[in-house]
A and B are shown apart, each in its own frame.
Chain A
Amino acid sequence: MSVLVYTESLKGKFKKNAFEVASYAHKVAQDLGTSVTAVTFNTNDDASLGNYGVSKVLKIADNKLDTFNAKAYADALAQAAQTEGAKVIILSSSADSKFLAPILTTKLNAGYVPNVVSAPDSTSPFVVKRTAFSNKGFAHTEISADIKVIGLSNNAFGVVENGGSASVESFTPSLSDGDFAVKSMEVDRVVGKATIADADIVVSGGRGLKGPENWGMIEELADVLGAATACSKPVSDLGWRPHGEHVGQTGKPVASNLYIAIGISGAIQHLAGVSASKTKVVINNDPEAPFFKAADYGIVGDAFEVVPKLIEKLKEFKAQNA
């Protein structure tokens, strides 16, 4: 009986969330007196997971699985869980993890809790804390099924290095044609830029920026910080920015370390989706904007004056700390 983790990767390289789920699994395994087994799909540096608490890697190498496929991946993970006798399975909160988790759960007759924000409250009974009501509240949820599937929120637990080492075994799941009945035809992914899901820092613009032609300074600020760009709902509805950048209760959730909101009023639906971010900064020319009540730091001022100055100061800061 071990704790199983799904470690995500892109083009053979682990994503940051792979190290975070491994770190979390290590903590759960310690509580349960067992060890962590990771399942990897076509990755290069499997043994590196040892440093994050993984003892054993089940390495899958199969060209058919180069592109993510929820059903096939879920099937492979279910077989790995059965081989290992795993009672706890940990995934991230990425779009891929959220796609496959319900499939995996149903295959294993397990119980699933997404958006988990901390180590289990207790392991017997098995109770975890998760966000609910779009970050307006938390729930402590018991999983009573024999097998437990946990979706960990981004940046909720952090990456913990422990200098351990992992053994690597190859693993060949038996997959059928039915696993590939949902086919990826084309993937259109922005490369070389941080995404809202993975980024440590997110820079977000609202209707206060007046028009799409003014996003140059938002992108420049994001560049300096290595941040992802995001926007409020009306900005994407107006077509100023792509829908994929819409964050909030009905858009993408943000759980970054730093969220910078520029020209965004702070409507309840917006705040609900971004409040899981650790530090929030607001730049708005209206001191009464509701976002000031939800932020850690704020500047009352015209974005068109403040943002260029902020970019300049950040460049100086980076030059000094390089």
Chain B
Amino acid sequence: MKILVCISNVPDTTSKINFTEGDTKFDTNGIQFVINPNDEFGLTRAMWFKEKQGAAVHVVTVGGAQTEPTIRKALAIGADEAIRVNAEPTDGFFVAKQLAEVVKNGGYDLVIAGRESIDYNGGMVPGMLATLLDMNFVNTCIGLEIDGNNATAMREIDGGKEKIGTTLPLVIGGQKGLVQESDLRIPNMRGIMMARQKALNVVEPVDAPQPTQDQKFEKPAPKGAVKLVDADNVGELVSLLHNEAKVI
């Protein structure tokens, strides 16, 4: 089985967000970039398939040269090879088109992507990729087993979960649950050394349209001060929620 894990390079979850150039660009100044958390769960599940079922695991990112430390980290965790499509990922459909090209050329059976990137929260690349390639697709995937050509997946739904049966080739949009938090791996010295020997192939993008454009960003309005209610006067909270906030 040949697996491709799609990795988006995102600001660390503790990042404070700022914008520059008249609020038209995200300010990367002082930002630490990491593997998108949803992709880290997927990558770890892919390592399981590698170790238990002999799968080959490649990783791919669409991004500029500045994303290489993130993709190297995926190699240090244990992926066999990496591909970087040399383009700025400004639109989800554009990214899906690039990834579709990589999947076609590489003949992958399983593509593991994340439910969403935690920066732009698009939640669209995996579904678009699956549709472009006419591959089966399961989103918000919290469990995945592969047996020959058959796949059994768990999907998170609103208020519960759903068991799904399908076949390869398959694309998933994964998240926590694919593996547990405690299964995530921190690259060790040996992994980091080995990653230096592994191939990181840079390919140029194909032409693709960009149906959406972010024109301007803004930050939420600053919050007013909290209204404190005395712990001995809980009834006041009830009346504030009823009369002032009008939420009960």
Chain A interface residues toward B at CB < 8 A? 68, 70-71, 94-96, 98-103, 105-107, 110-115, 127, 131-145, 178, 181-190, 193, 195-198, 200-201, 225, 233, 237, 243-244, 246, 249-251, 257-258, 268-269, 272, 275, 278-279, 281-282, 292-302, 305-306, 309-310, 313-314, 316-317, 321
Contacts and interface: CB of A to CB of B under 8 A. Distances in A.
A292 B226 contact: yes
Contacts of B228: 292, 297-300
8 contacts: A103-B128, A103-B131, A111-B211, A134-B121, A143-B212, A250-B37, A299-B228, A314-B248
B220 A138 contact: yes
A317 B176 contact: no
Contacts of B131: 102-103, 106-107
A167 B166 CA distance: 38
A268 B158 CA distance: 24
Nearest to A180: B166
Contact of A189 (B160, B175, B182, B229): B160
A197 B238 contact: no
Contacts of B161: 188, 244
Given A105-B124, A137-B218, A279-B241, A258 B160 contact: no
A100 B137 CA distance: 10
Given A183-B164, A293-B226, A317-B242, A250 B118 contact: yes
A105 B247 contact: no
B147 interface: no
Given A183-B166, A189-B160, A316-B235, 16 more contacts: A70-B139, A99-B140, A100-B127, A103-B131, A105-B93, A106-B96, A111-B93, A114-B123, A136-B220, A140-B218, A185-B163, A198-B158, A258-B245, A269-B14, A306-B234, A317-B248
A183 B162 contact: no
B162 A268 contact: no
Contacts of A314: 238, 248
Contacts of B163: 184-188
B164 A182 contact: yes
A212 to B, nearest CB: 17
A178 B130 CA distance: 13
A98 B139 contact: yes
Interface range, B side:
35 or more
B219 interface: yes
Contacts of A243: 142, 156, 176-177
A114 B220 CA distance: 18
Interface string B147-180: 0000010011111111111110000000111001
B237 A310 contact: yes
Nearest to A267: B14
Contact of B215 (A127, A133, A316): A127
A182 B128 contact: no
A140 B216 contact: yes
Nearest to B120: A132
Contacts of A200: 247
